[in-house]
Amino acid sequence: MDRAHRHGSVRNKKSVNPYPEVFIDKDADFASIKIASGVEHRSYLKDGIIVSEDKSGHILEVQLLNLKALLPPAKRLAA
Protein backbone atom coordinates (compact mmCIF):
# COMPACT_ATOMS: atom_id res chain seq x y z
CA MET A 1 0.00 0.00 0.00
CA ASP A 2 1.59 3.22 -1.16
CA ARG A 3 0.41 6.30 0.69
CA ALA A 4 0.92 9.85 -0.49
CA HIS A 5 3.24 11.85 1.71
CA ARG A 6 3.99 15.54 1.45
CA HIS A 7 7.65 14.71 0.75
CA GLY A 8 6.88 11.95 -1.74
CA SER A 9 5.87 8.34 -1.57
CA VAL A 10 6.51 6.44 1.67
CA ARG A 11 7.71 3.46 -0.35
CA ASN A 12 10.39 5.56 -2.05
CA LYS A 13 11.88 6.57 1.32
CA LYS A 14 12.97 3.03 2.26
CA SER A 15 16.63 2.19 1.91
CA VAL A 16 18.09 -1.27 2.03
CA ASN A 17 21.05 -1.70 4.37
CA PRO A 18 23.36 -4.55 3.25
CA TYR A 19 24.67 -5.06 6.78
CA PRO A 20 25.24 -7.24 8.69
CA GLU A 21 27.22 -9.46 6.32
CA VAL A 22 27.93 -12.88 7.78
CA PHE A 23 30.65 -15.24 6.54
CA ILE A 24 31.13 -18.69 8.11
CA ASP A 25 33.90 -21.14 7.24
CA LYS A 26 33.25 -24.39 9.14
CA ASP A 27 36.45 -26.01 7.89
CA ALA A 28 38.60 -23.19 9.30
CA ASP A 29 36.34 -22.89 12.39
CA PHE A 30 35.96 -19.15 11.70
CA ALA A 31 33.13 -16.64 11.33
CA SER A 32 33.08 -12.96 10.43
CA ILE A 33 30.23 -10.51 11.00
CA LYS A 34 30.65 -7.21 9.15
CA ILE A 35 28.43 -4.67 10.90
CA ALA A 36 29.18 -1.45 9.01
CA SER A 37 31.36 -0.06 6.26
CA GLY A 38 34.39 2.02 7.08
CA VAL A 39 38.15 2.03 7.43
CA GLU A 40 39.61 -0.02 10.27
CA HIS A 41 41.64 2.14 12.64
CA ARG A 42 42.33 -0.41 15.35
CA SER A 43 41.47 -3.96 16.29
CA TYR A 44 41.87 -5.99 19.45
CA LEU A 45 41.66 -9.65 20.46
CA LYS A 46 39.68 -10.74 23.50
CA ASP A 47 38.70 -14.33 24.36
CA GLY A 48 39.13 -15.56 20.78
CA ILE A 49 37.13 -12.70 19.29
CA ILE A 50 38.67 -9.94 17.16
CA VAL A 51 36.84 -6.62 17.18
CA SER A 52 37.65 -3.99 14.52
CA GLU A 53 36.82 -0.33 15.11
CA ASP A 54 37.01 2.84 13.04
CA LYS A 55 38.69 6.06 14.17
CA SER A 56 35.57 7.14 16.12
CA GLY A 57 35.39 3.85 18.02
CA HIS A 58 32.40 2.44 16.12
CA ILE A 59 32.55 -1.34 15.69
CA LEU A 60 32.90 -2.34 12.04
CA GLU A 61 33.48 -6.09 12.22
CA VAL A 62 33.58 -8.98 14.68
CA GLN A 63 35.58 -12.13 13.89
CA LEU A 64 35.11 -15.36 15.82
CA LEU A 65 38.29 -17.42 15.64
CA ASN A 66 37.20 -20.65 17.35
CA LEU A 67 33.53 -21.36 16.77
CA LYS A 68 33.56 -24.82 18.35
CA ALA A 69 34.71 -23.35 21.67
CA LEU A 70 31.57 -21.17 21.76
CA LEU A 71 29.19 -24.13 21.52
CA PRO A 72 27.90 -25.89 24.65
CA PRO A 73 29.56 -29.32 25.25
CA ALA A 74 26.46 -31.29 24.14
CA LYS A 75 26.38 -29.54 20.76
CA ARG A 76 30.15 -29.95 20.25
CA LEU A 77 29.76 -33.73 20.19
CA ALA A 78 27.00 -33.55 17.56
CA ALA A 79 28.92 -31.13 15.29
Those residues whose C-beta lies under 8 Å from the C-beta of residue 2, and which sit 6 or more positions away, are: 9, 10, 11
Q: pLDDT (tens digit, 0 to 9) for every residue of the chain, 79 residues total?
A: 555 556 655 555 566 778 899 999 988 899 999 999 999 999 999 888 999 999 999 999 999 998 888 777 766 555 5
pTM recorded for the entire structure: 0.66
Structural domain boundaries in the chain = 19-69
Radius of gyration of the chain (CA): 19
H-run or E-run covering 78: helix 73-78
